[in-house]
Chain A
Amino acid sequence: MTKGATRSAVVRPAGAGRRKRAGEELRGALAYAESIVETVREPLLVLDADLRVISANRSFYQAFQVSPEKTEKRLIYKLGNRQWDIPKLRKLLEEILPQNTQIEDFEVDHEFTTIGRRSMLLNARRIYRESNRTETILLAIEDITERRRAEERVVERTTQLEAANKELELFSYSIAHDLRAPLRSMDGFSQALLEDHADKLDEEGKDYVRRVRGASQRMGQLLDDLLELSRLTRAEIRREAVNLSALAETMAEELRKLDPARKAEFVIADGLVATGDPQLLGVALTNLLDNAWKFTSKHKRARIEFGASRQQPGQPVYFVRDDGAGFDMAYADKLFGPFQRLHGMDEFSGSGVGLASVQRIIGRHGGRVWAEGAVEQGATFYFTVQ
């Protein structure tokens, strides 16, 4: 207080200014909190210690299409058509204040009077106000009906897809299977013709019969490949440590035995072990090495390499490389399609299903397969396993 000053002033008791500022701060904080609560899109309820509604936000009234009169001061269990009167929820709510627990993601499926059947996710916790020592419960309600419905649709679609897939596999399997019998007849009787009635056939006749036999055998091979391809997608996949180096060595030995006269060098890296299905990975590696062997067959010397490079830490990229006929990179995307061939039948035999099998197998292991090459300069096939 200043001396000698005569002013008209309102006299206040000491400390009143501080309380006034504290009061303003409190009201400010409250207004701040309230505007947050009102803006939040999620329906919110504030309950007192007796689980009566102190207040609800606008989102709540809009979501449940009720009025404040029907909501405020009422026991939560009495709201609506007693949609929150669930024993398990009661137990959880009644523990929040005394034991300072929370409700996390409690799901309620209910036929609400105003809005129909919906799934709600509840979260609640205690709010303690130091100023007036009050405890309240803040209950947040999230409508997850759409999310649940979307999830159900996904599950339904996946089931339908799996069923359709399975049907298709069985269908192609039974077709390929049923085609075998007529093939055997064609092959068998052509051969019988050559053997039992050779005297009735001239050279041209015999040639025709041989072509029929050859065609039916090729078709048999195609069917076998088709069946194998379909089997690869149906088979159960095991996860074990597979010694790829050892497999490659065995295959190299077998290939050398097929044609000992060939000058072919195999360079196989040691100790390459991957995790996957031993049989399937064996088939994939066989296909790649067989290809390398086949496409270097027209060269005087051949170098076939199997190894791995670590481009990313922890994930080796395996490769099979040869220095043979190679392929035109322009057709690289056709390489892995079933029955796709980039060379004529008279150049190199094969039904074109080998690489498709490799892709299916590697795909089932979560890996990738790709190739680089150039005409007459060899090819490299890369693959990863998961």
Chain B
Amino acid sequence: MDKKTILLVEDNPDDEALTLRAFKRSTIRGEVVVARDGAEALNHLLGSGKVSGRDVTVALAVVLLDLKLPKVDGLEVLRRLRADDRTRLLPVVIVTSSKEESDIANSYKLGANSYVRKPVDSAKFEEGMQHLGLYWLGLNEPAPWGGSA
């Protein structure tokens, strides 16, 4: 059985490191692959399907998507994912510092499955990331890849 994968789209190397550490310190069993900007994420999900050489399309459980990304921002990534049959059903969780009502509304309107605000407090941040990982890799059933039932 393939190990489940999380695609983390995050441009901040510190947040990336803290998120990976959080997963490592939890009981989550799965792989985390990181894309560092919106273009990289799209390229690999809709393009070659590979991020840093690994095929992510197999057993991709969830995409953790930051909103403020270089090149292509989070909402645009989300829009394109939902517009493509292959990724229309792919679970996407927005993980961002923004608390703006408009960001929350727009994310859901564009088809995000969940919206999580990154806590400033690192203990809460770690706890939050662990919750996310446990839920999406553990409890949740991944959507079939390719959008087909």
Nearest A residue to B14 by beta-carbon distance?
Answer: A185
Most buried by B among A177, A187, A223: A187
Q: Can you spell out 6 A-B residue pairs with CB atoms less than 8 angstroms apart?
A: A177-B97, A184-B119, A184-B120, A187-B121, A188-B122, A189-B14
Q: For B119, what are the chain A residues with a Cβ–Cβ distance below 8 Å?
A: 184
Tell me, in angstroms, the Cα distance from A93 to B38 when the chains sit together.
70
Cβ of A191 within 8 Å of any chain B Cβ, yes or no, is: yes
Given A180-B97, A181-B12, decide whether A217 and B121 contact each other with a Cβ distance below 8 A.
Answer: yes
Cβ of B139 within 8 Å of any chain A Cβ, yes or no, is: no
Cβ of B1 within 8 Å of any chain A Cβ, yes or no, is: no
Let me know if A183 and B120 touch, CB within 8 A.
yes
Cβ of A220 within 8 Å of any chain B Cβ, yes or no, is: yes
Tell me, in angstroms, the Cα distance from A191 to B22 when the chains sit together.
12
Residue-wise, chain B 1-32 has the 8 Å CB interface mask toward A (1 for contact) of 00000000000101100100100000000000
Cβ of B88 within 8 Å of any chain A Cβ, yes or no, is: no
Tell me, in angstroms, the Cα distance from A217 to B98 when the chains sit together.
18
Cβ of B149 within 8 Å of any chain A Cβ, yes or no, is: no
Nearest A residue to B98 by beta-carbon distance?
Answer: A177
Let me know if B118 and A192 touch, CB within 8 A.
no
Residue-wise, chain A 182-217 has the 8 Å CB interface mask toward B (1 for contact) of 111101111110000000000000000000010001
Distance from B129 Cβ to chain A, minimum over Cβ atoms (Å)? 11
Chain A residues with a Cβ closer than 8 Å to the other chain, count: 18
Distance from A199 Cβ to chain B, minimum over Cβ atoms (Å)? 17
Interface residues of B (CB under 8 A from A): 12, 14-15, 18, 21, 97-98, 118-123, 125-126
Let me know if B14 and A187 touch, CB within 8 A.
no
Shortest 8 CB-CB contacts between residues of A and residues of B = A188-B122, A185-B14, A220-B120, A187-B122, A188-B18, A191-B122, A180-B97, A184-B120
Let me know if A181 and B125 touch, CB within 8 A.
no
Tell me, in angstroms, the Cα distance from A217 to B120 when the chains sit together.
8
Let me know if B98 and A184 touch, CB within 8 A.
no
Q: For A177, what are the chain B residues with a Cβ–Cβ distance below 8 Å?
A: 97-98
Given A177-B97, A177-B98, A180-B97, decide whether A185 and B18 contact each other with a Cβ distance below 8 A.
Answer: yes
Tell me, in angstroms, the Cα distance from A297 to B113 when the chains sit together.
44
Interface residues of A (CB under 8 A from B): 177, 180-185, 187-192, 213, 217, 220, 223-224
Distance from A20 Cβ to chain B, minimum over Cβ atoms (Å)? 88
Q: Apart from A184-B118, A188-B18, what are 12 other A-B pairs with CB-CB below 8 Å?
A: A180-B118, A181-B12, A182-B14, A184-B15, A184-B125, A185-B12, A188-B14, A190-B122, A192-B21, A192-B122, A213-B122, A220-B121
Distance from A206 Cβ to chain B, minimum over Cβ atoms (Å)? 16
Q: For A191, what are the chain B residues with a Cβ–Cβ distance below 8 Å?
A: 122-123, 126
Q: For B18, what are the chain A residues with a Cβ–Cβ distance below 8 Å?
A: 184-185, 188-189, 192
Distance from A180 Cβ to chain B, minimum over Cβ atoms (Å)? 5
Nearest A residue to B22 by beta-carbon distance?
Answer: A188
Q: For A223, what are the chain B residues with a Cβ–Cβ distance below 8 Å?
A: 120
Distance from A49 Cβ to chain B, minimum over Cβ atoms (Å)? 66
Tell me, in angstroms, the Cα distance from A346 to B123 when the chains sit together.
24
Tell me, in angstroms, the Cα distance from A188 to B127 when the chains sit together.
12
Most buried by B among A177, A184, A187, A190: A184
Tell me, in angstroms, the Cα distance from A169 to B97 when the chains sit together.
18
Nearest B residue to A190 by beta-carbon distance?
Answer: B122
Distance from B53 Cβ to chain A, minimum over Cβ atoms (Å)? 28
Tell me, in angstroms, the Cα distance from A220 to B124 when the chains sit together.
13
Q: For A183, what are the chain B residues with a Cβ–Cβ distance below 8 Å?
A: 120
Distance from A235 Cβ to chain B, minimum over Cβ atoms (Å)? 10
Let me know if A181 and B14 touch, CB within 8 A.
yes
Distance from A35 Cβ to chain B, minimum over Cβ atoms (Å)? 69
Tell me, in angstroms, the Cα distance from A185 to B15 when the chains sit together.
7
Tell me, in angstroms, the Cα distance from A316 to B8 when the chains sit together.
56
Tell me, in angstroms, the Cα distance from A120 to B148 when the chains sit together.
74
Distance from A212 Cβ to chain B, minimum over Cβ atoms (Å)? 11
Q: For B98, what are the chain A residues with a Cβ–Cβ distance below 8 Å?
A: 177
Distance from B24 Cβ to chain A, minimum over Cβ atoms (Å)? 10
Q: For A217, what are the chain B residues with a Cβ–Cβ distance below 8 Å?
A: 120-121
Distance from B125 Cβ to chain A, minimum over Cβ atoms (Å)? 6
Tell me, in angstroms, the Cα distance from A262 to B123 when the chains sit together.
29
Tell me, in angstroms, the Cα distance from A177 to B120 when the chains sit together.
11
Q: For A184, what are the chain B residues with a Cβ–Cβ distance below 8 Å?
A: 14-15, 18, 118-120, 122, 125
Nearest B residue to A181 by beta-carbon distance?
Answer: B12
Most buried by A among B21, B121, B122: B122
Tell me, in angstroms, the Cα distance from A177 to B118 when the chains sit together.
12
Tell me, in angstroms, the Cα distance from A210 to B97 when the chains sit together.
24
Q: For A182, what are the chain B residues with a Cβ–Cβ distance below 8 Å?
A: 14
Tell me, in angstroms, the Cα distance from A331 to B95 when the chains sit together.
44
Partner of B97 from A181, A189, A190 at Cβ < 8 Å: A181
Q: For B120, what are the chain A residues with a Cβ–Cβ distance below 8 Å?
A: 180, 183-184, 187, 217, 220, 223-224
Nearest B residue to A196 by beta-carbon distance?
Answer: B21
Tell me, in angstroms, the Cα distance from A307 to B145 when the chains sit together.
62
